[in-house]
Amino acid sequence: HVQLVESGGGSVPAGGSLTLSCVVSGDTSGSASMESMAWFRQTPGKKREGVVVVYTSTNSRESEYYADSVKGQFTISLDNAENTLYLRMNDLKSVDTAMYYCAADRGWIALSHDVWDYWGQGTQVTVS
């Protein structure tokens, strides 16, 4: 069965950077079998928020959509050869503190939609 495993979270000072990784396993085609891949984040007591999605059928810059709150600050990338989705986070602020989740779907799905085929277990990012 398909699994998503995130890594790369940690504690950083404000202004610092982190790169999160999400490895897709359990499918012979790996990440290439997913039409949509995204990062979400959630803080205690709040609804999970879509951060960025990439639509892999084109993997072009035009197929990436970012939440307004992270535009110019976060960058998503996908390496199908490594079956890995990345999230580069720069100039981190305390408001970016959250559990970050990777999500994947075999079809096209909007970032605002919360029901995806597959979810990772999350990796914690804490900005102090």
- From CA 35, how far away is CA 104, in angstroms rounded? 8
Amino acid letter, 22: C
Note the pLDDT tens digit of each residue in 38-57.
Answer: 999 999 999 999 999 999 87
Per-residue pLDDT of the chain (128 residues; tens, 9 = 90+): 899 999 999 999 999 999 999 999 887 777 778 889 999 999 999 999 999 999 987 554 448 999 999 999 999 999 988 999 999 999 999 999 999 999 999 988 999 998 999 999 999 999 99
Beta bridge mates, 88: 19, 75
In a 13 Å sphere around the CA of 79, the CA atoms on its Cβ side amount to: 8
- Kindly list the distances between the CA atom of residue 56 and the CA atoms of 44, 61, 83, 112, in Å, as whole numbers in the listed order: 31, 10, 12, 17
Model pLDDT, residue 59: 53
* Neighbouring C-alpha atoms within 13 Å toward the C-beta of 33: 12
C-alpha to C-alpha distance for 49 and 42, rounded to whole angstroms = 6
- What pLDDT shows up at residue 58? 58
